[in-house]
Chain A
Amino acid sequence: MITYLAKRLFEMIPTLFGITLVSFLILQLAPGKPTDILTEMNPKITPEARERLEKLYGLDKPLMVQYGIWLKRVAQLDFGNSFSTDRRPVMEKIWDTKQPLLERRLFITFMLNLLSMFIIMIIAIPLGIFSATHQYSLYDKITTVIVFIGFAMPSFWFALLLMMFFGIHLHWLPISGLKSVNHDSLSVLGQIADRLSHLILPIFVSAFTGLAADSRYMRSSMLEVIRQDYITAARAKGLSEKTVIYKHALKNALLPIITLMGLSVPGLIGGSVIFENIFGIPGMGQLFYASVMQRDYPLVMGILTIGAILTLIGNLLADIGYMFADPRIRAR
């Protein structure tokens, strides 16, 4: 098992290298340059001034040289400075140590996604199990309809409806952002309540729209498992239905869910542009979108590389998860 893990880890290195190279090249294929924001359609810019700016950003060098410079820096764990006008280090934009933890982009997105993933799991797993054990019952049909409504609804539209209802009509919840304007003048408890109240709508929307996939997976894998011979055997032994489902069937039915969780690890830091924009949440999705639109190469590359590393780690974790859930895999 140790050698298997070591082999997996070793394989990750060329994969990561390949990902960064391909990302770097694809990024260059997109028309436009980071300096465009300063120069495009700006009559005050002469071609000479444009060249000067490009030279300042190192864009006059051949592509492979640029990649080499980037790679050399990353090998020293430095993602460089952003190309946007503020020229801040990439890492500071993602994880600003000068800000409190709760205000750092990566933390905000990570916390939100983790919370919503957690809520999805604790609702979707029982929901799926129940739907499977009560297949074709009225309960099964109702939950199916509800989760699919959530799945089919565009999240930005659903979010706006909720904002209008809870924010403007009832005045119960704040509409957007992470905290109120008067946040600083509140007591500690008040500050916590303020922050939590800002999280309710975003987490509800993301959980409700994300429920369908996981609960359906759970239902179908559970259905598959309870038809197997060993479940019949367990029942024939006279075990209670509870023991049969939760002790014997659930363990095996969880395998696909572990895969799903592994795959969603990079999503934890990715964030969604639409979602973060509509709720005014300063997370990674917004940052990534803005950096792509501005052709901010170092920032895009930084986020992609971190994402790639996390994806690989996620896959690895899923594999390790299998080993715990399934002794046959462990034996290899």
Chain B
Amino acid sequence: MKQLYLVLLIAMLFVAASQQSVTSSEKPEQATYGDALIAGSIGEPSILIPMLAGDSASHEVAGLVFNGLVKYDTDLSVIGDLADSWDISPDGLVITFHLKKGVKWTDGVEFTAEDIMFGYKTIIDEKTPTPYKEDYLQVKKAEMPDRYTFRVIYEKPFAPALTTWGSLIVLPKHLLEGKDITKTEFTRNPIGLGPYKLLRWSPGQEVVLESNKDYFEGRPYISRYVYKIIPDPATMFLELHAGSIDMMGLTPIQYTKQTSTDFYKENFQKFRYPVFSYTYMGFNLKHPWFKDKRVRQAIAHAIDKSEIVDVVLFGLGSPATGPYVPNTWPYNPHVRKYEYSLDKARNLLKDAGWVDRDGDGILEKDGKPFEFSILTNQGNSLRMNTATIIQWRLAKIGIKVNIRAIEWSTFINEFVDKRRFEAVILGWSIGIDPDQYDIWYSGKTREKEFNFVSFNNKEVDDLLEQGRRTFDIEKRKKYYYRIQEILAEEVPYIFLYVPDATPIVHSRFKGIKPTTIGISYNLHKWYVPERLQKHRIEQ
């Protein structure tokens, strides 16, 4: 479960902000109100205030209750949500948001700049236990010239700044002022302004949301959204088959094999799009063997990424070439690729001094055999299978690999933090913004920081710094393209794959338009034609 949180943590910031979107201008013909969508979830939300939540289930539900100032459009550009428009000063230091007028909280009180200011003050408050504080501490000053204008002034230009004003910081001041935000009833019974509002929460069983008839982007067609908690994936799949749930995320085997019957073709629609995350094998660059770039490149040549995608993910993913998702704007398709070639791998290793002298099938250098361990966290079968394939492939060029799966906390605290590893297989969940300062900057190598492979490249440091200091997308593109070239040349990680999300939805739901950011961004536009409605709900 832990790794789930890990994978979803960072992206949630943005996903939460991008839940809704205005895209379809064409009015669906037979769109009618009514029916309920029952979504299955393994985890239960724990708190419905976005800035206090750490798990994906909480963000998913809270994302339907709260909106942000801005959100991502389907093409990954930033568009207004509660903000009508915004201006960025030429030096990039001041952002002024002009809010939509007449938006109301579901208790009828109008939403104004006061609410943003309150949210901002809450998130930077010492006493608020939130993991998302850092972005807001960059703000030098926040002010509200009038009820519908909110302005923030930064010390230095900070490119990811704009998108941090998503749904994390919007809170109703009139309900929360002067209260201890962690202890109020509001955490489990929030008043929001999003497409849905909370109707009932039965702990451990379900969270029932009701459509917000006064939603500022139009009343959602589906009257109820039920978030049903089913901790066991096998049980959840049976419930899908029995018709008790309408939507769930499928595993690769469920997507490719178990749902390929006529029953599923008739009753369900399946979707597939890349997740904003990638899985990689990272080297400890302080280790004497992996200090040598040629050794890392040789290993890259010896691993067949498409084989891993085919076997581990049943083809439901794409090979990664860098830390970005293919077909998004920061992704550079022209970096050095390491085709699967044992000869190239062997030659590179030979150049680096690794030769099998005693004929036992394992390379040696200075009398030491080339044998190392890949560590990964326990319970993630995808990573274990990936490690096993890599083990088998590397054996072919004379490298002996041992695999160790370790419980998550032990893995992080005892091995990653203390640098007691040779190679790890892990995944990063990435935001839609390409800033990856914390992962690649050479200064971020203290314990608990995230450049734990100890990557150190002056040019990358500069580019990372420049990339986060300008809002000009063309300039940023240039910087991040160059970073990817360097990463591909230096191979601090072997970027393995970007997995696909594979949700399934009952076929009576219409109006779903899959895009790069998934399917749920236009949930309020989904509908069920009258004759197909399953649950009768009084309007």
Q: Which residues of A contact B (CB under 8 A)?
A: 30-32, 36-47, 49-50, 52-53, 56-57, 81, 84-88, 93, 96, 99, 103, 105, 156, 160, 163-164, 167-168, 171, 174-182, 276-283, 286-287, 290, 293, 295
Q: How far is the CA of A45 from the CA of B137 in the complex (A)?
A: 12
Can you name 9 extra interface pairs (CB under 8 A) apart from A31-B409, A47-B449, A53-B129? Answer: A32-B412, A32-B413, A40-B409, A45-B131, A49-B131, A52-B126, A174-B244, A280-B232, A282-B204
A50-B448, A86-B47 are known contacts. Are A175 and B126 too (CB-CB below 8 A)? Answer: no
**Shortest Cβ distance from residue B267 to the other chain A in the assembled complex, whole angstroms:** 13
Q: Which residues of B contact A (CB under 8 A)?
A: 1-2, 5-6, 9-10, 13, 36, 38, 46-47, 52-55, 58, 126-127, 129-135, 182-183, 187-188, 202-206, 226, 228-232, 234-235, 238-239, 241-242, 244, 407-410, 412-414, 426, 428, 436, 438-439, 446-450, 535
Picked from A49, A81, A105, A277, the residue with its CB within 8 Å of the CB of B133 is A49
Task: Please indicate the chain B residues that have their CB under 8 angstroms from the CB of A49 in the complex.
Answer: 131, 133-134
Q: Which residues of A contact B235 (CB under 8 A)?
A: 160, 163, 175-176, 277-280
A41 & B450 in contact (Cβ 8 Å cutoff) = yes
- B131 interface neighbour in A44, A105, A156, A277, Cβ under 8 Å: A44
Q: Given A37-B55, A38-B129, A293-B1, answer yes or no on A181-B203 (Cβ-Cβ < 8 Å).
A: no
Contact of A175 among B38, B204, B238 (CB under 8 A): B238
Say whether A99 contacts B203, CB under 8 Å: yes
Q: CB-CB < 8 A to B438: which residues of A?
A: 43-44
Find out whether the CB atom of A87 lies under 8 angstroms from the CB atom of B183.
yes
Write out the residue numbers on chain A whose beta carbons fall within 8 Å of the beta carbon of B203. Answer: 93, 96, 99, 103, 105, 282
Question: Which DSSP category, helix, strand, loop or mixed, fits chain A's interface?
Answer: loop
Docked-complex contact A181 and B409, CB < 8 angstroms = no
Q: How far is the CB of B369 from chain A (nearest CB, A)?
A: 31
Q: Select from chain A the residue with minimum beta-carbon distance to B202.
A: A103
Interfacial chain A residues near B439, Cβ < 8 Å? 43
Complex partner residue of A42 from B9, B205, B407, B447, CB under 8 angstroms: B9
Q: Which residue of B lies closest to A184 (CB)?
A: B200
Tell me, in angstroms, the Cα distance from A80 to B270 when the chains sit together: 45
**CB–CB B535/A182 < 8 A:** yes
Q: If A37-B5, A41-B412, A168-B242 touch, does A286 touch B231 (CB 8 Å cutoff)?
A: yes
CB pair B134 A175 closer than 8 Å: no
Cβ–Cβ contact B448 & A181, under 8 A: no
Name A39's closest neighbour in chain B (CB-CB).
B131
A30 contacts B409, C-beta separation under 8 Å? yes
Cα separation A220 to B1 with both chains bound (whole Å)? 44
Tell whether A41 pairs with B1 under 8 Å between CB atoms, given A52-B126, A181-B226.
no
Residue of B nearest to A163 (CB): B238
27 contacts between A and B (CB under 8 A): A31-B414, A37-B2, A40-B6, A42-B6, A43-B436, A43-B439, A53-B129, A85-B52, A85-B54, A85-B55, A85-B58, A85-B129, A86-B46, A86-B188, A87-B129, A99-B203, A160-B235, A168-B238, A175-B235, A176-B238, A177-B228, A181-B206, A181-B226, A280-B229, A282-B229, A286-B204, A286-B231
Assess A87 versus B182: contact at CB under 8 Å? Given A38-B129, A174-B244, A280-B232.
yes
> In the complex, are the beta carbons of B53 and A282 less than 8 A apart?
no
